[in-house]
Structure 1
């Protein structure tokens, strides 16, 4: 295999199937996020309702993540992934049913609203398992020497699905309405469930381990918190998502500040994600192993600056440009972080490290939604985003100064060692 082959991971059949599954699933998931945010805000006209949605998903996703990581290390990954998708399909169907004319005409608005919150909560339970399962499965589909390439394509697929899912979600709300859009989402989830069985079952690397659940969880947490590089990378991304992100209140900007409607909402989501995917595709040709730590710090600092511009903007075109550039920086940071985690995590601990990653980054999306909703109600949406971007800049600066192992990180040697292992 060519050393710098940008398509190295794509030459593996099962990895391609995995990418198709992930695209279909995230495409539907991204659409569902946009639709539910729009529907709930339309029902309540209250920014706090957006925070409640984030809280409903954050609580189970965060607190169940360590246990989910333990399960992911103990169980067969393909079947666990399939089970998560099957259960998620029930949630998608439930949302489709709740927005039908029959239910809307016979149930009270509050009853429908609380039912949506309940389904979002159970979605958070599944989110706790999705993260460590997917992270573990990737490590079993490709050889270690092409982990960076696989991480790039996986992240690009995730972002690509987010781009088109968010964009189409906003437009479909305007074209066919919330109910039929949710029907399309249910179909996509079912498609991903069918595709996942194209991947064969994988060996359970941790099968002979006799650790108790408590010991297993402690080992995973200790590994992450004792590794300054991994801990620093996760902390940076968590802060960027938690304070710098504003996805949860894009609805407020589209409807109340930019006067852009549901189509504008889709454009805002797509602008952020499209910058990410274009950058991540570029990294398949441009190696990111050299000066890895500096690239991570610079990218998240740039992300914070762009979000400050977005928060201060009152013009749609300027907001779109700011979000696109924020996406560019976000794409770099995502690929770098995933590469660090894949190369620095032992095989038998992938589930637990993936779970901690979900706690830091995945769950911070939902907690960030809570923070954004509450801050928007207290300070107003524009000031809330500006303040969040400012906090991001401060934290990145402090970590860059204090965390020398991360600042000086260079992954070129790690990749060379894995190449030697493959030869042996």
Structure 2
């Protein structure tokens, strides 16, 4: 009996380890940029990180993800946004599937921009033009598909007229899974701004709101005891009920081009988003009667974040400010605790950095391809170590089992951070 119990414990530990080793979607398992508790993380960066493998890739601004021993990424191949599956250990390609024709604007190369999402035996891919497909993880076989424009009447016009948000530069916001549903910012202003699909069949379960879609990925979070979908659209921040899509609260925010990019950060009952035009904004969500009320708590133009989603460690937010400066901000008050310059290479308007919370430290990948580890310390910036790992990049890396999966403009890398 004891031997049987020991085997059950061992199996549970193995299962837990397998689960912890996945980074299956944009910004990790919970979409917060946090390495899950219990997973081993480096306390400093190796002086010369070992590159386990590297492969040539086409143009792409979406990020790699890893699940069940496979790496998934999208790039441009032969005029198509193309989804690839690789062996995580070797980088060997297992399959590739075209998703949709490439979209080109004046901002970047014609390339996919939306990070794939893996859930169990399925992987979901969304194109710039709103083609949404579910594929089998093992074979790449298409299981179902829908089109935001053809099936829901969403309008995608590109850089024309007064186009805003995703209608201008593409559907970049990665869908998110919760339970049996997957939620996507479809963007139809005829009552289907956000849609909940049955994840196995693609059947529409609900549709909600009339907002123009932005670029920010939605997130599932619990606020004031209520689990909900938080979406940063081109017209504001909204909270939706998960089963039926009912609007729980709204914080209106309008800008000239709907350039709303940051994934919402939630700490307790505060929701933080940012716009280069409006600044960094803290929205307080509170219960009111049988519902909720959202009110702007603070707004800080001097801490405005443009294209890089920040992370929270405790009540402090860490991100990239408007002057190519790393910043720490108190989420409750909006007070900027410190600012540090000197790590970001490109111009202020297009500067980028990715952030991952690793226990008591934060790992940053700069747009110049440098990894910087610093302490999650609200009192001052404390660099722990830094190392160059790749060329110019806007990638949000995936971390699993001591390895970092990232891309630059030419290659996809698997880099060992723990030896």
Same fold, judged at TM 0.5 (above): no
**TM-score bin (small chain):** under 0.3
Q: Identify, as 1 or 2, the structure richer in helix.
A: 1
Considering Cα pairs closer than 8 Å and 6+ residues apart, tell me whether 1 or 2 has the greater RCO.
1
Q: Identify, as 1 or 2, the structure richer in strand.
A: 2
Q: TM-score, normalization: structure 2?
A: 0.23
